[in-house]
Amino acid sequence: MTSITSIDAAVESGTKESFWTRIASDIADAIGRGAYRPGQRLPSEHALAEQFGVNRHTIRRSLASLSSQGLVRIAQGSGTYVEDFAVDLMLAKRTRHQQNLAHAGLKGGLQVLSVHTERATKTQATALALPARSKVLVLEVLGEAQGLPLHVSERAFPLPRFEGLDAVVAQTGSITAAFQAAGVADYTRQESRITAQMPEADVAAHLRQPVNRPVLRVESVNVDTAGAPIEFALTWFAGDRVNLMVNHHD
């Protein structure tokens, strides 16, 4: 292996550009092979300098080049991270997480983080057309693709109609499958309201992002074929991993 001294000597003699471009290319190849996953922090400048046998200035130039190409994100005081991919997710009359991912050529599903029964809040009762203080099943759900979190949501379902729905979601990773098991063959989105906001600490933690990075908050209501509300959801999407598209024709 070429020594640090010999490489740095070559750098000083005028071949510096070839070294930083070669290092940038090697790191880009590693990202392409999946050695570094989207959102993952790269080794420190010091570690990379030792790995490639160059000084840290050369590594900084390589990382700056990768940043300009959109492959990495340099966070001052935190490190350099592989840029997260952005997934196009459709908000339409029929919005399905797994179907959205399939269209993007990705695999993923829903993971149930918590389950509890509560008295409906005023907002939940209004959205679900329930009498005040009716019981609802509330699921906290994480939506992911290729192991990367895309959104986290709080979903309320009227009881007793959807008693046990959480078990099917946990088993299948699909709200649609759970509805079908409960006798709902089809359902549609009645409305979606989208706002941008800074996330609470727990939302940021689930999405594996800092609290100072905005998220997209979507408030939605789904109804069955008879028009009865069956789900009220608050969903927080990772703003830099998701492109939300609204389809008015589905």
Per-residue confidence (pLDDT) for residue 44, from 0 to 100: 93
Query: How many residues appear in the chain?
Result: 250
Q: Are residues 31 and 141 in the same domain?
A: no
CATH code assigned at 114: 3.40.1410.10
Q: Are residues 124 and 166 in the same domain?
A: yes
Q: Are residues 68 and 26 in the same domain?
A: yes
Q: Are residues 58 and 157 in the same domain?
A: no
CATH code assigned at 34: 1.10.10.10
Residue 9 sits at φ, ψ, to 5 deg, of -65, -40
Q: Count of domains in the chain?
A: 2
Q: Are residues 232 and 109 in the same domain?
A: yes
Per-residue confidence (pLDDT) for residue 130, from 0 to 100: 98
Q: Are residues 167 and 94 in the same domain?
A: yes
Q: Are residues 137 and 41 in the same domain?
A: no
Domain boundary, last residue among 40, 60, 82: 82
Helix axes 56-68, 16-33, angle to 10 degrees: 60
Q: Are residues 66 and 174 in the same domain?
A: no
DSSP 80-108: EEEPPP-EEEEESSS--HHHHHHHTT--E
Distances (CA, A) of 81 to 40, 46, 143: 5, 15, 22
Burial tier of 81 (Cβ tally within 10 Å: 0-12, 13-18, 19+): middle
Region of residue 64 (left: phi > 0; alpha: psi -120 to 50; beta: else)? alpha
Residues 79, 85, 91, CA angle at the centre, nearest 5°? 135
Q: Are residues 63 and 92 in the same domain?
A: no
Q: Output DSSP code: residue 68.
A: H
**Nearest by Cα to 187 from 198, 179, 197, 178:** 179
Q: Output DSSP code: residue 75.
A: E
Q: Domain residues for 171?
A: 87-246
Please write the tens of the pLDDT for every residue from 27-74. Answer: 988 877 778 887 789 999 999 999 999 999 999 999 998 887 767 888
Q: Are residues 45 and 148 in the same domain?
A: no
Question: pLDDT 10s digit of each residue in the chain, 250 long?
Answer: 333 333 444 444 444 457 889 999 899 888 777 788 877 899 999 999 999 999 999 999 999 988 877 678 888 888 998 876 677 887 878 877 777 777 766 778 899 999 999 999 999 999 999 999 999 999 999 998 877 788 999 999 999 999 999 999 999 999 999 999 999 999 999 989 999 999 999 999 998 888 888 999 999 999 999 999 999 999 999 887 788 888 756 6
Here the tokens at position 217 are 């908050």
Which segments within the chain are labelled E, that is strand?
A: 72-75, 79-82, 87-91, 108-119, 135-145, 148-158, 187-197, 215-224, 229-238, 242-246
Q: Are residues 67 and 101 in the same domain?
A: no
Q: Are residues 115 and 13 in the same domain?
A: no
Domain boundary, last residue among 82, 117, 133: 82
Omega of the bond leading into 210 within 30 degrees of 0 (cis): no
Domain boundary, last residue among 56, 82, 108: 82
